[in-house]
Structure 1
Amino acid sequence: YPSISKINFADADPNLAAIIAMMEVSKKIQPSGKRMELWENNYLDSCKSLGISTQVIDHSKSIGEMVAKKILGYAKADRYNTLSNFPRYTPDKKEGYWYPTPPGYFPAVEPYFSKIRNYSLSQSEVSDFEIKPPKAYSSDPRSEFYTLANQVYLSGKKQEEQKIAAFWDCNPFALSSNGHLLIAMKKISPGAHWMGISAIACAKKKLDFGHSLLVRTVLSVSMQDAFWVCWREKYHSNRIRPETAVRKLIDPTWKPFLQTPPFPEYPSGHSTVSSTAAVILTHFIGENFSYVDTVETRYGIEARPFKSFNQAAEEASISRFYGGIHFMDGIASGQSQGKKLGNHILKKLNLL
């Protein structure tokens, strides 16, 4: 981890320094980072209007920039920038293996993601988060796999099931078909959705700045590692998606309610990441913490109430079954993997 000496906050504001550090990092790593420059200038002007002295602002800014430089150096060494050096991923056409799906037929997303550095797993701990293999592909109507495929085929037809699937879609790769045109739809990722939930929870709990920052930092690190262990298994098992399997085995005209994301099925990423997030948020915020999820109302998605983070994670998981893009064993395995990882991270941080 980055080595940062104890900081002298005399004539500086720790909260302001933290905000500046976040903005400086965002400027460098976000695709729209350049837009942060104007936002930062406006923010610092508002600090002056609130009576914060130029000396405090300048000292806080220098501290924030120093911390940001350390974080950016750490991030640059995570090996993500080496992924383009790997051979172009070519889908295997063997029976039961993943293959690109309509309407975009996108190439596989991040097939080498497990090559980058994770946050919480030592080399000897990685195998602890391996999950049992998925049910073997089979065209035999009496097989376990055929039963799983038929379950997906028959699901997602009720209005409430479709409402749940749409609420948790969170597919940044979704496309809208307009004649011969395929138009990209703006949707947030599952990780971003849970970061939004954490903001709602911290505000309702009335946590102070430092505590809110701790919650969201641990959550973001945990979800990154949840994606890491999940993607490692996805490209190990390389399992076929329901859309491909159902069309081949049951009904060639079938379309899932949701668009299929461009990567292998097993396990469900929503299940892994949501289960990890629920463990972390339950630890910090509490069991049976009720809230209203308004994260995607700005995108036209109706707000939805939940009685706990675990209830939300359960619903996020089953939503992929209702949406026709995951088999039930992929959902169950993702849930167990995510819960185990969440507890591992809490122990690693001496929070349990």
Structure 2
Amino acid sequence: MRQVLIFILAAVTCFGCTRPTQEQPPFSSEAISQVTATMTDLMVNDVTNPPLAARFFAYTCLAGYQVVAQHDSTLQPMHGVLNGFPEIEKPPVTAYSYQVSALLAMIETAKKLQPSGALMDAYERRFLDSCRTSGMDAEVVNNSLAYAQSISGQVLAYAKADKYNRISNYPRYTPKEEEGSWFPTPPGFFAPVEPYFNTIRPFTLDSSAQFKPAPPVAFSTDKQSDFYKLLLQVYEQGRNLSEEHHRIAAFWDCNPFALQDNGHLMTGMKKISPGAHWIGITGIACKQANKSFAEAMQINTLVAVALVDGFISCWDEKFRSNRIRPETAIRKYVDPTWEPLLQTPPFPEYLSGHSTVSAASAVILTHFFGDNFHYTDTVEERYGLEARQFSSFHQAAQEAAISRLYGGIHYQDAIDNGLEQGLQVGAWVLHKVEKVPNAEKVAQR
């Protein structure tokens, strides 16, 4: 907790401001990334599950986006675009900085959504102080905050209506005692994460099952069956991992539930979620391409929206097919001593969530940066992992997907069909929000 707070207090130095001026300091894309990075640190602290983390990013980015859209005609308001999104009223405030308001709207929204959001109060105070010391008039600062709070309140009302708050009232999910079904895995034996996530309102999808994938390969203990072949593929892969495969699996692990056994005590390992990793990649790309503040806000928002709709689609299938994890099946039917390289996340196997949201994110990022965008992914350096280089976002998504096989936590059909579902979700988001030609056809193929 103390380390997170120190990071929050130290991160704000004019918050991405490129030069001081009294009325309108120009902010770079890095200012947005500083907010999302702080959110990520709180998520690590709170052990926020992957679907919920994506939800936090989406509403936070939407708050900032709506402020910018009210001042930049290149960005369309989301009313009539996202499911149920209201007309956001522009507050009757004068003498303010809309960029400061956009960042504050993000902070105000994250404060209310995240369990440890109160820690962002100190971050917000430092940001406001940095605006004042950079030369911005106190009235402009105060009015910018008032503007942000008005927008954030309206977006939070929209968030409250997505039905996520009803999930706690649903019956506790009980694992099925059927052969081939998912069951909690060691070392934590956690209950399944977000079994009702498919009941919340999607941002662009017609329904959680709009891109329902092909059924998984049917479970079977017959050694000649397709399922048993998939099972042995995971088993043999895990026994013959190269150093590079080790690095790939670790880099894309992104399991906030991972535990470390210290003998008498199990402690949580500090890891980010898949969505946080892709939001981090988004920030890297925006900075490298020198995207404007408005462009970066748009790109971050669309990636976050695609993440949520990707998780909704994937989780809809996970708890429909409810398939057994390789760790459970291999120990029961092949080798009782086998352990996967990565700890198995606490939810059913099919589809691969990381494959789905990685492909969806890659579609959005490729739309804005092109299909031959070379970049260095440094997101995991803060967690002790070496940076990796990629020549495209789809290459990164493919590597993220296959990392699940190397890690021993997914079968190949869950990876392949997860990638396909993610491509469809990403294309659908572009069709709905950006009106991209042919994107609908890609999504419906």
TM-score (norm: length of structure 1): 0.97
Query: For the residues of structure 2 that align with 1:105 and 1:307, how far apart are their CA atoms?
Result: 38
Q: Paired residue for 2:183, among 99, 114, 127?
A: 99
Aligned to 2:288: 204
Q: Secondary structure at the match of 1:227?
A: helix
Q: Paired residue for 1:273, among 347, 357, 361?
A: 357
Tell me: CA distance 1:282–1:8, structure 2 relative to 1, closer, same or farther (3 Å). Answer: farther
1:259 paired with 2:343, answer yes
Amino acid at match of 2:368: F
Aligned to 2:42: none
Matches for 1:10-29 after TM superposition, within 5 Å: 10-29=94-113
Aligned residues with identical type, % of pairs: 53
Aligned to 2:368: 284
Displacement of 1:351: 3.8
Aligned to 1:337: 421
1:269-324 deviation digits (Å, cap 9, x = unpaired): 01000000000000011111011111111110111111110000000000000000
- Unaligned stretches of 5+ residues in structure 2: 1-84, 437-445
After TM superposition, the structure 1 stretch with the greater mean CA deviation from structure 2, 239-248 or 142-151, is 239-248
Amino acid at match of 1:292: T
Tell me: CA distance 1:76–1:97, structure 2 relative to 1, closer, same or farther (3 Å). Answer: same
Q: Paired residue for 1:132, among 214, 217, 229?
A: 214
Displacement of 1:9: 7.0
Query: For the residues of structure 1 that align with 2:403 and 2:87, how far apart are their CA atoms?
Result: 42
Displacement of 1:121: 1.4
1:4 paired with 2:91, answer no
Query: For the residues of structure 2 that align with 1:207 and 1:192, how far apart are their CA atoms?
Result: 20
Displacement of 1:5: 2.8
Aligned to 2:319: 235
1:152 paired with 2:234, answer yes
1:78 paired with 2:162, answer yes
Equivalent residues of 1:25, 1:72 under 8 A apart:
yes
Query: For the residues of structure 1 that align with 2:157 and 2:146, how far apart are their CA atoms?
Result: 17
Aligned to 2:126: 42
Aligned to 1:53: 137
Query: For the residues of structure 2 that align with 1:229 and 1:110, how far apart are their CA atoms?
Result: 13
Q: Secondary structure at the match of 1:129?
A: coil
Query: For the residues of structure 2 that align with 1:287 and 1:65, how far apart are their CA atoms?
Result: 38
Query: For the residues of structure 2 that align with 1:34 and 1:10, how far apart are their CA atoms?
Result: 28
Equivalent residues of 2:210, 2:313 under 8 A apart:
no
Aligned to 1:178: 262
Amino acid at match of 1:150: L
Q: Paired residue for 1:304, among 367, 373, 388?
A: 388
Displacement of 1:60: 1.3
Amino acid at match of 1:269: G
After TM superposition, the structure 1 stretch with the greater mean CA deviation from structure 2, 313-322 or 44-53, is 44-53
Query: For the residues of structure 1 that align with 2:347 and 2:257, how far apart are their CA atoms?
Result: 11
RMSD (Å) for aligned C-alpha atoms: 1.2
Displacement of 1:53: 1.0
Query: For the residues of structure 2 that align with 1:4 and 1:178, how far apart are their CA atoms?
Result: 51
Displacement of 1:27: 1.1
After TM superposition, the structure 1 stretch with the greater mean CA deviation from structure 2, 111-120 or 144-153, is 111-120
User: Where in structure 1 do 4 or more consecutive aligned residues deviate above 6 Å?
Assistant: none
Q: Secondary structure at the match of 1:283?
A: helix
Query: For the residues of structure 1 that align with 2:179 and 2:157, how far apart are their CA atoms?
Result: 44
Displacement of 1:222: 0.8
Equivalent residues of 1:3, 1:70 under 8 A apart:
no
Q: Secondary structure at the match of 2:220?
A: coil
Displacement of 1:122: 2.1
Displacement of 1:7: 5.7
Query: For the residues of structure 2 that align with 1:8 and 1:75, how far apart are their CA atoms?
Result: 23
Aligned to 1:293: 377
Displacement of 1:55: 2.1
Aligned to 1:120: 204
Q: Secondary structure at the match of 1:155?
A: helix
